[in-house]
A and B are shown apart, each in its own frame.
Chain A
């Protein structure tokens, strides 16, 4: 499904990695590891098509990733939360879904917010939420997300222990449905389902 061939990444004057390749099939999870500055986020940004690789090629279902079809299959969660401080969690979820061309009903959105532990705070502007709660608003997107490819940049950052377990469950559910996931993380979290592969950048 997702193939990367001979990728090379140069940031500034430094070559971060070269000759990197992998294949990921349905139901598989790729853990990207490596120390700070090893190029984990750069690799993720290549995979979503925002950063053109210096050399090499990335294919999704055998086709280019520079297409609306690829982006319709993609869900990306960066280390920025992509939520608006002035809007409430509910408005944020609904607006994000509309802009990404997804169907999300208000009931589904409220349900998702309840699952991430924000019940009762749906109508509070996000600027009044804590850092961890803002992260939960961003993660609430994943609850109803049915797109096959998830690319997650440090999804466990700023979460408490219970939330880490909850998120691991959400990701395994996604893999069980035949989804693919690529994520970077510094803490190794046990994902119960699916095949887990590891890629270490150094």
Chain B
């Protein structure tokens, strides 16, 4: 079981390394969107501190969305997805591997760069730590939920827009608890409660989403 998951992760990471432009463009999108806000709103530390959690999280959702349409589309186009579906193990395990690989190349870089961007919003050290941690444990849920949308819209024309319409509403709980954790730290309430709920969302979606995606992929392959 672990063997197939690591095989998928290894292959997807190798492919991502050969195509670094994809990773870098999503990351730069995140950096630029977040950096535009302080420039547009103006240098008022109080206001920026209030805006920071929401802005960073919304930008993280959108940056994750950018790479979702290609999650299965490339494999579908060149026939690899058929071969994966015919391998002698459940397709859900393959999707689990793909979701983890997607997180490693899209979610993890966001978490690593988020504290640097947070400085632009005059966040305290505590808030920066919680922000990084929240993005770190919240983005796997984004990859998981996104995989369902990517599988459902596979092969559709204009699937990208439909994918956003399907997936963004499902991201709302992650947004609320992710931004809430930073907010609660800024106001001194402590973000532990929010972080626990975020972790719960991640575990639930990683357990459930690959199997739902696998069911959708089977329909797309018919």
Binding site for B on A (CB under 8 A): 45, 48-52, 68-69, 71-72, 74, 76, 78-87, 91, 95-96, 98-101, 125
| Cβ contact within 8 Å between A100 and B15 | no
| A81 and B75 alpha carbons, distance in the complex (Å) | 11
Q: Which of B4, B8, B15, B88 has the most CB of A within 10 A?
A: B88
Contacts A50-B221, A98-B7, A99-B11 hold; do A76 and B86 have CB atoms under 8 A apart? Answer: yes
Q: A69 contacts which chain B residues (CB < 8 A)?
A: 88
Q: Could you tell me which residues of chain B, from 57 to 98, have a CB within 8 Å of some CB in chain A? A: 77-80, 82-90, 94
Number of interface residues of B (CB under 8 A): 27
Contacts A68-B89, A87-B15, A99-B11 hold; do A82 and B80 have CB atoms under 8 A apart? Answer: yes
Contacts A82-B83, A86-B19, A100-B83 hold; do A71 and B222 have CB atoms under 8 A apart? Answer: no
| A86 and B13 alpha carbons, distance in the complex (Å) | 12
| Cβ contact within 8 Å between A82 and B78 | yes
| Cβ contact within 8 Å between A83 and B78 | yes
A8 nearest CB across to chain B (Å): 15
A57 nearest CB across to chain B (Å): 18
Chain B interface mostly helix, strand, loop or mixed?
helix
B84 nearest CB across to chain A (Å): 6
For A83, the closest partner residue in chain B by CB is B78
Q: Could you tell me which residues of chain B, from 1 to 27, have a CB within 8 Å of some CB in chain A? A: 3-4, 7-8, 10-11, 14-15, 18-19
| A69 and B87 alpha carbons, distance in the complex (Å) | 10
Q: A76 contacts which chain B residues (CB < 8 A)?
A: 82-83, 86
Q: A98 contacts which chain B residues (CB < 8 A)?
A: 7, 10-11
Q: B94 contacts which chain A residues (CB < 8 A)?
A: 99
Contacts A71-B88, A95-B11, A99-B8 hold; do A84 and B222 have CB atoms under 8 A apart? Answer: no
| A52 and B222 alpha carbons, distance in the complex (Å) | 8
Q: B14 contacts which chain A residues (CB < 8 A)?
A: 87, 91, 95
| A74 and B83 alpha carbons, distance in the complex (Å) | 11
| Cβ contact within 8 Å between A100 and B80 | no
